[in-house]
Amino acid sequence: MHQTNIVLIKSVRGYNPTFGKDCYFAENSTIIGDVIIGDQVSVWFQAVIRGDVNSIRIGNKVNIQDGVIIHGTYKKASTDIGNNVSIGHNAIIHGCKLNDNVLIGMGSIIMDDCVIHSNSIIAAGSVMIKNTIVPSGSIFAGIPARKIKEIDQNLQKNEVERIAENYLFYANWYKK
């Protein structure tokens, strides 16, 4: 039996989500309010992007995997996500900034006013407490997350870039 579900795209407070080209939104994903999404973005099953209390900006070639929640804090913390970013399953991205070429591991929590600079990895299950700054080229892990090492070129290529490319490939399976 084939069941058709729809993506929930909802306006709130006069804000309508907008999207770039060549995006994929899973049937039970939710995108609400003041959300601007770039090109080649995939939003996977049960992911919620809730721009009701503050703005959410998402760049190009971003994958927001299953169960991810993206939100902000009313009148205090918007969420900005750069280009070529992978956000792993069940992560929470809340009122923070993720720059380009970032990998957020599964189940991680990134709290208000954190800044994850480019070419960085946040390990699975990490908790980035409020106001944490991750220098470019770093790997952070733990609760609370701390720098564990510098990212090397091999890891950058074989994890951060590979995962972003793979999700473009996977999204094409679902667009057919």
Q: Based on the structure, what is the number of domains in the chain?
A: 1
Residue 2 lies in a domain: no
Q: The domain spanning residue 117 has which CATH number?
A: 2.160.10.10
Residue 64 lies in a domain: yes
Please give the structure tokens belonging to residue 37. Answer: 């999404």
Residue 119 lies in a domain: yes
Residue 126 lies in a domain: yes
In whole angstroms, what separates CA 104 from the centre of its chain? 8
Residue 1 lies in a domain: no
pTM to 2 decimals? 0.95
Residue 3 lies in a domain: no
Residue 86 lies in a domain: yes
User: Range of 118's domain?
Assistant: 8-175
Give the integer Cα–Cα distance in Å for 22 and 79: 22
pLDDT digits (tens, 9 = 90+) for 28-77: 999 999 999 999 999 999 999 999 999 999 999 999 999 999 999 999 99
Residue 70 lies in a domain: yes
pLDDT digits (tens, 9 = 90+) for 149-171: 999 888 888 888 889 999 999 99
Considering only residues 3 and 39, tell me which one the structure prediction assigns the higher pLDDT: 39
